[in-house]
Structure 1
């Protein structure tokens, strides 16, 4: 390459002080995120990084990672249907008939008769007038809140709600107030204030039905009573509830017999329904309004036919084989009792989501790796997803786990828990947990 000849002259342009600080780049934050000596740099160098680990083969309750077979105790495949032959055949048949995708939004060219069939089936199953599908569960909640809560309205949101509800609050023009987790007295103070100061404001209470880290249920009876008293709508995100708990797997409200009292319920297909996508159910007028105003519905490509057919097949199995739900509940009770008898803190889990608290973040990463080497895959969860000093292994279970697999999970946790001082012999908390996990 030949450099230009300036004949001894300096090129024209702005003069730069060689000692001046270089201008900031919008990408500086990316460099700082992985800066040498920082948290993530240390975790990577110690080979403790637990995220984005590739699964080479998955057979449901087991998986292969780095050539090693492990028991999958960190999947949301609650009904164990991702590898069910009936489900896979339904997906293949849909590809043969419709192709691989719709190449457009539901609003335009992306509506198949399959989409309409699934919406009708879900509305009937969940005992609501209407249903609308979205391309992901995340987009469901984001679009739903953006559509129904607008300028002048107020969203009352549980502080432990999932990120997709928070995303909906951020894109909505409505005001958001966040009440302490499951603290209905705190919620009442906000409802009273807004009702007094802005009686004309539309109000919606938004909460997870089952909280994804703790495995606990929202206090639906209390929320229904407050919603009725203050004229607020009630919205439940049942991503971890439909196909998991309640009458026939109908979710959190059905646990309490209060389906009719909940105005909007959303869910996802990426868990019990072994697919991808999301839905919302409610009154016909409201759902049609959402269908025409939720940006994540109007401006996103629709669920591909194979995904829709998968959900329909899973729904068929859920309705025909309710014993899967019984087995899932039995497994959840067995594992909670097992962890507690070993001395682990599993918070107040009430579902197949069972957190196992191990304390400080680096210990959690080391604990995760030792579990993996012992043949068990779980999910390491650290702040801000959980409180400081309460990093945990998020375990979750499938109706298809065998008794022997469950016992192997408990055995591995016992071994690793003793090694790290999380538990001690005799089924009591270990020295590492004597300060509530902050040691």
Structure 2
């Protein structure tokens, strides 16, 4: 072939190759969807986001740039804010004695164990806290978890079989609901604090091997307390065990702050208690189950969140140990949060507000409308009071509220200032006269 012929051939070949490549790309475009799976996924999520915002229930996360105290700094705000929405019941989330104990635990035991408990993740400090919590609740033994959510997730599946039955208050915390879902027991949900309905459910459970009545000690959205005397009475009559989640009770509810049992003067009456270290007991993290020794032994063998999660960091354990020491040495903090709670509730009711719940530091200011609750909370924020509006699905539709939470660290002057601000905003928005 001549040089010119070869050139022509190569030119024709390149044109044919280019045409084939173009056809190949077109075929691929025809076969591929107009949008990729991740694009479709994003679009679906964006639609849901827009619906939430349209309903006025979108939850913005405000960024705190200071320690969790009664006076805080919030990103984007030049002035300091008075904090009324933390679970810092005893004001120990930032306390000099607690910080000292935390620092000592950090240097004595390190950052963490890099392991689960049964491999090489148990230190003497963990056993010390488990014993101290057992003594505090007057139970035989205790097992630590990374959170009370994990404690609730790890309990029911480990101890209940298809031959058993569990009875849960309809307003129990989401972690209880999720934990019960994991177990194979027959599931009964009784109306909120309705003992007649609970009794009916107990009697309809047939020949269940184990009957377990499950309730929050204090219901966090409403600040009301489980009717423990009636629960224990029904448990005795129907050969049932009792369980309480005490996250919003441990450390401050009752005369000595030992929770719902203490509130009713029934220490030792509940069979199984789950609670947290992340609220009154230092405000960091961590949870636990306390009860019969045999139960704790089984949980150490079967509870999945315990078996497959790193040990609780020593610094958190050290914090909890110090808080328990403070609570056993003095009743001051318990008395202070009780007095603060009484002052706020009484003053707010006198101003015309509807305050839900029992005599508990959780003080829901009932608004009703979700958008109005968010507008109210934002207006409070502009006036230096940090509170949050709660609406569906966190609370039932039509039951939106601003959940105020009282701390032992608040002064009477700070409480009075909050009430005065609530009253000003309430009148502006026609919530009170």
TM-score, with length taken from structure 2: 0.90
Contact 2:52 2:58 in 1 (8 A): no
Q: Which 5+ residue runs of structure 2 have no aligned equivalent?
A: 1-16
- Give the secondary structure class of the aligned counterpart of 1:394: strand
Q: 1:263 to 1:22 in 2, by over 3 A?
A: closer
Contact 1:138-1:164 within 8 A present in 2 as well: yes
The residue that corresponds to 1:285 in the other structure is 294
Which digits, 9 at most, give the CA deviation of each residue in 1:282-317, with x for residues without a partner? 011111111221111111111101111011111111
SS where residue 194 of structure 1 aligns? coil
Query: Highest Rg: 1 or 2?
Result: 2
Match of 1:415 in 2: 424
Residue 343 of structure 1: aligned partner:
352
Q: Which residue of 2 aligns with 1:160?
A: 171
Instruction: Indicate if the aligned counterparts of 2:157 and 2:179 stay in contact, CA closer than 8 A.
Output: yes
Contact 1:50–1:369 (8 Å) recurs in 2: no
Distance 1:200 1:330, change over 3 A: same
| Residue 273 of structure 1 pairs with residue 281 of structure 2 | yes
Q: Alpha-carbon deviation of 1:233? A: 0.9
1:268-292 Cα shifts (integer Å, max 9, x gaps): 0111112210011101111111122
Deviation at 1:188, TM superposition (A): 1.0
2:384 pairs with 1:371:
no
SS at match of 2:219: coil
Aligned counterparts, 1:310-349, within 5 A: 310-349=319-358
How far did 1:58 drift? 2.8
1:108-123 alignment, distance < 5 Å: 108-123=119-134
Question: Which residue number in structure 2 is paired with residue 212 of structure 1?
Answer: 220
Choose from 131, 135, 159 the match for 2:142: 131
User: Which deviates more, 109-118 or 22-31?
Assistant: 22-31
Deviations 1:321-378 (CA, angstroms, capped at 9, x unpaired)? 2111111111111111111101111123321110001121111111010011111111
Which structure has greater helix proportion?
2
2:14 alignment counterpart? none
> 2:249 — aligned with what?
241
Matching of residue 180 in structure 1 with residue 195 in structure 2:
no
- CA distance in 1: counterparts of 2:59 and 2:427, whole angstroms: 21
What is the CA distance between 1:261 and its match in structure 2?
2.3
How many pairs does the alignment contain?
Answer: 412
2:45 to 11, 30, 36: 30
Alpha-carbon distance in structure 2 between the residues aligned to 1:18 and 1:222 = 61
Deviations for 1:204-229, whole angstroms, at most 9, x for unmatched residues? Answer: 11100011011111000010011111
In structure 2, the residue corresponding to 1:68 is in which secondary structure?
Answer: coil
Q: Which residue of 1 aligns with 2:8?
A: none
Q: Which is worse superposed, 71-80 or 60-69? A: 60-69
1:433 matched residue in structure 2? none
Greater CA deviation, 177-186 or 144-153?
144-153
Q: What displacement does 1:7 show?
A: 4.5
Q: Distance in 1 between matches of 2:395 and 2:35?
A: 42
1:78 matches 2:70: no
TM-score for the superposition, normalised by structure 1: 0.89
* Contact 1:253–1:262 (CA under 8 A) maintained in structure 2: yes
Segment of structure 1 superposing worse, 150-159 or 253-262:
253-262
Q: Following the alignment from structure 2 to structure 1, what is the Cα–Cα distance between the partners of residues 351 and 303? A: 48
Provide structure 1 residue ranges, at least 5 long, that are not aligned to the other structure: 425-439
Can you list the C-alpha shifts for 1:242-281, whole angstroms capped at 9, x where unaligned?
1011242111012223232211011101111122100111
